Structures are given as C-alpha cells and as structure tokens.
Structure 1
Amino acid sequence: MTVLQTQKGRWFSEKRRWFIVAIIFLAIVFNYVDRQMVSILKPLLKKEFSLDDGGYAMIVNVFTICYAVMYPVSGWLVDKFGAGRIMFYSIIVWSIASIGGGFSRTIGQFGFFRGMLGVAEPANFPAQLKTVTIWFSGRVRATANSLCVAGSSIGAIIAPPLIAWLTLSFNWKVAFFVCGLMGILIALLWKLVYRDPPPEISREVATELSGEAGAAAAPEAFSWWKLWTTRSLWGILLIRFISDPVWYFCLFWLPGYLQEGSGLSLAQVGMVGWIPFLVADLGSIGTSAWSDRMVRNGTPPLRARKIMLTVMVALAPLCLLLNYLPGVTGTLIVFSLVAVMALSWLFTVSVVVAEAFPVPNVASVLGIAGGFGALGAVLFNYYVGEVIGSLGPATIFMLMAVMHPLAALVLWTMVRRE
C-alpha cells in the first residue's frame, strides 16, 4: 500500500509540475504582450501624445530603467519569500499597470503606468527559473525552462494581430484593458495550482546537483554579498549586458521598423509581424532540447549549454545584411534567424545560472543578471533613438553583429561551476 501511495504521489507530482510550466508559459505570454504594446502602437501613441522618436525612446526607457532596477530586488525577493508568493503578486501588479495604461490621458500618466509595469514584470523570470530549478533535473531542465520562457516569443507572436485587432475594432485603450484582465485571471490560476515540490522531487534534484555523494554534499549557498566575489557572476552579468539588447531591439523596434521603414500599415504588421517571433520560439525550444540531449548522452550540463550557445553565434553576422535587404520578405527572414540566436541565448543563459550556482542563489543571480541585461538595453535603446533618425539603422546593425560573439568569449573564459 505504501509503494502504491508513493507511485500515485509521484504521478501527481509529475502532472503538477507540467501544469505549473503551462501557467508560467501563459503568464510570460501576457508579460510580453503588455510590454510590446507600445512598439505595435508606436505611430498611434506618438500621435496621441505628440512624441518624436526621442520621446518614444524615453517612454521605452521609463519601463526599461524600472525593470533594470527592480530585477535584482525581484531575485532577492524570490529567494527570500519563495517563487509561488512573489509570482502571484507580481502578476497582479503588472495587470493593474496595464489597465492603468488604458486609463491614461496624459503622457505623464502613461509613463507612470509603464514604470509600474517595469517594476512588477521582472519578478516573473527569477520566480520561473527558481521553479524550474527545484522541480526539474538537468536531464530536462533546459527543455522545461524553454517551454516556460517560450511564452516570451509567443507573446510577441500574438501581440501584433491581437493588439491590431483590438485597436482597429475598438481603440488602443481597450487593448490595455483586455490584457490587464487576462493577467488577473492567470494570477488566480497560479494561486490555485502552484505548490512547492514534494520530497521525492527535491531529493532527485539535490542528488543530481551534488553528484554521487548525495544531497548532504550539496554546495553551500553564498550570501548575497558573497555572490559578488564569484567570477561566474561577473561573467553572467557581462553576457546579459552585451547580448540582451539584441532581443530588446527585436521587441521594441521591429514592429515600428516594419511600419516606418518598410511602409506596412498597422493591419499588415498584424498579419506578418509575428513571423520572426514564431521562428525564434520554435528554434530556441529546439536548441534547448538539443543541449538537454547532450546532457543525457553524457556531456556535463554546463558544457552542453556552452556548446549550443557558441554554435548559435554563427547567426550573428546576418545582422550586417539587414540594411541591404530588398523588401519585407528578406527583412523578416533575417530578423527571424537573428531572433532565434538572441532568444536561444536568453533562454539558456538562465539555465547556465542554474548549472553554475547553488539552488538557493539561483533567483538572486538571475535577478542581478537581468538587471544588467536591462541596463544594457537602456543604453542601447537610447543609442538607437538618437542614431536611427539621423544616421539610419546601418550602424546599429553593425553593432548587433558583434554583441553575441563577445558574449560567447565571456561565457567560455569566465563562467564555471561555483
């Protein structure tokens, strides 16, 4: 009877952890829909609030600066209070921020709610990584992580048609209201389903992390301040600072670039603007599964992630072609391949954190790293806003072509198992 109960409990635990992954996926979908709305509605919002490209960059940076500052704090909160609680409250707050954006009548009000969105949203990712780390072993961790974070690109996929349809059918304010209400429903679903892992799952993960010696030999956690003395933390920070801006560019500037640079209407962007993000999503899930397969075939987990990420860097030089492509089709193809590379890095660098640091530090490290990544995006976004109107995008695309190769160099020279 005891064996039967144990097997039954294990079956329920297996099912629950994949339900948890599904809810995280949904949360990240609307996390990205909320943040990408300003890009899709860029021409309309510029007219609504009398903004130029510099003013639009300022609105993007209000979100991104708040995001960067709050990311390390969010990681610490997750390690301190647990993924379940912090995820729930962060979804509630960012949903309220989205609804508030729809009620905004002035640029000051709109900027306030975009900042509020930036404060609330980063907790999602440390909580997600903490959940994956404690619920999944290294044999499937990258795949589970990629399925969760795939919500980012799915959000980017559905955002153009969804926001375009809501805006054209009603108005731009309704788009903010609908997405905010969806977030509240997801928060309630998370509250209903999430639980900490049962002992048998915890033992499996702890044994894998500590090797044959067993859970008792698991590496001791660093204090928050002690983390800053580790070489791997600084490596992860540099990697995120250098590589994240490429993905942020795809999110915040591609839809507007298609409208202003390629002459597409909002409705046409709704029809094709999702394509690069779908390709990125499928490609990055595939690369994550490949790295898991290397682990199952005997490659050490951290080395498997490094090999996969280095192979993906071969796509970086395609950025140089973006300024010379004729028509929308060529732009979409190259952006799709660049997005596969950028999203593969964004997905798997999180797994690198889980492989390199003790479990109690995972959320804190990701929070610090995410803040540095967002800071890199702030600086890059400011540069884009200043340069794209005067010199054109060629200089930006040249810079994007070298950012991931530099990140790969840092990955191999600075990141190790701490």
Structure 2
Amino acid sequence: MGIERDNASPRTRRLRSAAVALLVLAGCVNYFDRSALAVGNPEIRAELGLSYEDMGLLLSVFAWSYGFAQIPAGVLVDRFGVRRSLGFAMIVWSFAQLAAGVVTSFRQFLVARVALGLGESPMYIGGTRVCADWYPLRKRALPIAIFNSSSALAPALAPPILTWLMIAHGWRVMFIIAGLAGLVVAALWAIIYRSPQAAAIPAADLAEIHRDDGAPIEHVGWKQVGWLLRFPTAWGMFLGFFGVVYISWLYATWLPGYLEIARHQSIANAGIWSAIPLAAGFFGALSGGIISDRLARFGMGPVAACRLPVIWGLLVAGAATAAAVFADDLSVAIALMSLGLFAANISSSCGWALAAVIAPVNTVATLEAIQNVGGSLGGALAPYVSGVLLQRTNSFVPAFVLAGAIAFVCAAIYWLMTRRRIVAPVGLDLS
C-alpha cells in the first residue's frame, strides 16, 4: 500500500495542526510541573528534613491521585467535551503547582501534590480524544505520538532549565514559575481551541474523519466503563500500561537522584546527564508514532501497527534498564538508560494510540482512562517502591532490576490480551 494523501481541506489541516501544537505546549507545561519535584529532590529533602522514604511517598502521591481521577476524568471528557474539561483542568493544576511553591511542611506538600494529580488527570486522555476527533482512524497514531512526545520532551528540557532556576532563585521560585506558565497555557487553550463541529469544518472532512470508526455508543456516561471492562482487551491495556509507566516514572522521578547518590555527580552535572536519557525518550515518543504510521500505511492493520511496537518497546526497555545499573562506566550507563527510555516511550506513544484505534470513538477517553489507571498505579508505585528499596538496601540495583522484570511481564500481557478490537453493536444505548 502506498503513502496516503491527506485530502482534508486546508482549513481543517490548519485547525488540526493548531490543536496538536496546543496539546504539545500544554503537555510540556504539564510535565514541567511533574518534573520540578524530582529536580528539587535533594534541596527539598534538606529544607523539609525528609527521608528517602518520605521523598518516595511525596513523589508517588501525585500518581495515586492522578490514577484515581482517571476514570471520572475520562467519562467527563467524553460527556462534556475536551475544551471545557481541559481548560478547567489546566487552571486547577496550575494553582496546585503555585501552592507547592509556598508549602512549609511535608503534609502541605502532600496536599499540593494530590491536587496537582487531580488537576492533571484529564490531560493525556483528553489530548488523545482531540486527535481522535480531528484525524481519521489510520492517521491518528502520528499526531497522538507528536502530542505524547511532550511527556518526554518536557522531562528532557526540565532538568537543565529547572536546575538553573533552582540554583539561581531556589526551588520555590522554580515551582511558582511553572505554575504561572500553566495559567498562560490555559488562557491560550480557551481562546484558540474548538472541536471540529464547533469550528464548522466541511461536512466531507467530518465524514472522512469518522468513516472507519464503527458504531458509536448512543449514550456516553458511567455505564460505558462497565461495558468496556467486559472485554479482555481493556483489561490487557490496564495491566500492560502499568509496566510502561512504571519504567518511565522510575527515570522521571529518581534519575537525578540516582546520578547524585550512586554516581556521585553534582546537582548541576546530574541535571546535564539526566537530560540525555530524557532527550532519547522524546525521540522514542516521536518514533513510536512514525513506526505505527508507517506500518499502517504499508498494509498492517491499525491495531497491530500500534500493538506490536508497544510489546517490543517494553522488552528492549526492560533489558536496557536492568543492565544500566551494572555498568561501571557512567557513559555506558547513560547510553543504556537512553536506550531504555527511548524504547519505553515508543511503547507509551503506541499505547496511547492503541486506544484511539481499538474502540468506538466516543469511548476513547474512557478507555484511555482505564488504561491510564493501570499506568498511574505503575507511576505511583515506581518512585515509592524505589525509595523503599533504596532506603533498605542503600543501592539502586534492586529498583532498576525490578523495573526491568515488570516491563517483561507487561509485554507478555499486551501480547496475550490486546488482540481484538472493542466493537459496539449498532445502536447500543447504555442509558
């Protein structure tokens, strides 16, 4: 099969590109907020008198609240639309980040991180729904990957930028600047973004976008969660994404600390070294979309084109991550970690794209939410379990080897449980 041309009108192409650009910007600010705690880890521990285990809990509590909010957020996005849902979420998470910059105790910081998780919960499920609303089935993987790449681009940019801010002005100013940036993005989103229907794009473009979507569910609400959970595919995505996010969050939360503690790097050097694997993760996120897009364009079904890169990415990420902590040379360890994050983000991008091609379009955000609850459990456990293991063993080896093993198990889950599309009978009404 040859390369497909985009036959949408110039206005539709312009509007959908603007939507993806806004999502990338919002995603970067979103991850800058998450990364600030990892970058400020040693300084915050020193000022607030926290143990490694306390910091592990502080790093993980965000993911717990983020995970618990996923399904309600997905239902709300599918029910009330992306523009209102994401706009409100951006305001909430920005004020939570501002609050974190003025805390004076461990408990206050926990509350701010919980609020940040609640506010950020609709971001990636909502962004995937935007791509499903604006792009045809076979063309969704690439824009989703471009959007999802913000989850790797921001952590790659965050260490040097946030480290500079922290050294120059302190960790509190670093948090406040990140919060103010979120409010700017919220204003841009409210001014610029509209759904395809509200933007009044040509009817032919709307028909092309949804031509291969299959029958929608007539009523979108809480009952669709139970309906989706009847399918092994939904459970496979829930369980498998645990490993994708677990291994990614090990890096996102503990990489600067690992370089300072285990590799004896200064704060400044740890920020620079951290940027290398995180930059590789960004290119992995983009590559995932390109791989899926090319596989689909040259004849592979959309589901297989997203699913297979998830599986192979997890296998490579697990092997590279487990091997990295045994490398004597720092540059070799960084190279293996770079490979690990590159592969993990291929899995992440393709995992997000999988939900947009494997279920009815008006259940995408809810299915993404189910998947991301599993991912959020991984994100919650990775920093905390790693902190506990470090506290008990005074070594990062058990934490990285465990992450590699989890990645292998989750690759097997994707292989066994995500082979079939979720298809709604014509006219299914869950009211």
Q: Using the alignment, how far apart are the partners of 1:381 and 1:355 within structure 2?
A: 31
Partner residue, 1:207: 211
Partner residue, 1:339: 341
Shift of residue 220, structure 1, vs aligned partner: 6.6
Q: Using the alignment, how far apart are the partners of 1:66 and 1:95 within structure 2?
A: 16
Partner residue, 1:271: 272
Deviations 1:65-99 (A, max 9, x none): 11111111111110111111111111111111111
Q: Using the alignment, how far apart are the partners of 1:337 and 1:97 within structure 2?
A: 33
Amino acid at match of 2:357: E
Give the unaligned 5+ runs of structure 2. 1-5, 423-431
Deviates more, 1:321-330 or 1:80-89: 321-330
Residue 161 of structure 2: SS of its match in structure 1?
helix
Contact 2:292 2:350 in 1 (8 A): no
Contact 2:71 2:369 in 1 (8 A): yes
Are positions 1:306 and 2:310 aligned together? Answer: no
Correspondence 1:98-247 to 2 at 5 A: 98-197=97-196, 198=201, 199-210=203-214, 223-247=224-248
Shift of residue 404, structure 1, vs aligned partner: 2.6
Contact 1:238 1:407 in 2 (8 A): yes
Deviations 1:106-136 (A, max 9, x none): 2222221111101111110111010011111
Partner residue, 2:17: 18
Partner residue, 1:351: 353
Contact 2:28 2:154 in 1 (8 A): yes
Deviations 1:310-361 (A, max 9, x none): 3334422122322221232122111111101211111111111111111111
Deviates more, 1:334-343 or 1:377-386: 377-386
Give the helix-richer structure, 1 or 2.
Answer: 1
The count of corresponding residues between Structure 1 and Structure 2 is 406
Deviations 1:132-184 (A, max 9, x none): 11111233311101111111111101111111111111111111111111111
Shift of residue 394, structure 1, vs aligned partner: 2.0
Q: Using the alignment, how far apart are the partners of 2:230 and 2:48 within structure 1?
A: 46
Deviations 1:201-246 (A, max 9, x none): 3311211223xxxxxx567777232122111111111111233210
Contact 2:311 2:347 in 1 (8 A): no
Q: Using the alignment, how far apart are the partners of 1:397 and 1:165 within structure 2?
A: 28
Residue 262 of structure 1: SS of its match in structure 2?
coil
Contact 1:24 1:148 in 2 (8 A): yes
Partner residue, 2:427: none
Give the unaligned 5+ runs of structure 1. 1-6, 211-216
Contact 2:83 2:194 in 1 (8 A): yes
Deviates more, 1:108-117 or 1:369-378: 369-378
The TM-score normalised by the length of structure 2 is 0.90
Deviates more, 1:198-207 or 1:158-167: 198-207
Change (3 A) 1:308 1:8: closer
State which of 387, 394, 401 in structure 1 corresponds to 2:404.
Answer: 401
Amino acid at match of 2:58: I
Deviates more, 1:307-316 or 1:68-77: 307-316
Partner residue, 2:258: 257
Q: Using the alignment, how far apart are the partners of 1:402 and 1:62 within structure 2?
A: 23
Partner residue, 2:285: 284
Partner residue, 1:86: 85
Shift of residue 290, structure 1, vs aligned partner: 1.6
Residue 195 of structure 1: SS of its match in structure 2?
coil
Deviations 1:354-376 (A, max 9, x none): 11111111101111221221113
Cα root mean square deviation, aligned: 1.9
Shift of residue 8, structure 1, vs aligned partner: 12
Contact 2:53 2:391 in 1 (8 A): no
Q: Using the alignment, how far apart are the partners of 2:321 and 2:356 within structure 1?
A: 30
Deviates more, 1:93-102 or 1:405-414: 405-414
Partner residue, 1:317: 319
Are positions 1:294 and 2:291 aligned together? Answer: no
Contact 2:137 2:210 in 1 (8 A): no
Partner residue, 1:57: 56
Change (3 A) 1:382 1:143: same
Amino acid at match of 1:397: F
Shift of residue 389, structure 1, vs aligned partner: 2.5
Identity percentage of aligned residues: 26
Change (3 A) 1:379 1:168: closer
Q: Using the alignment, how far apart are the partners of 1:183 and 1:345 within structure 2?
A: 27
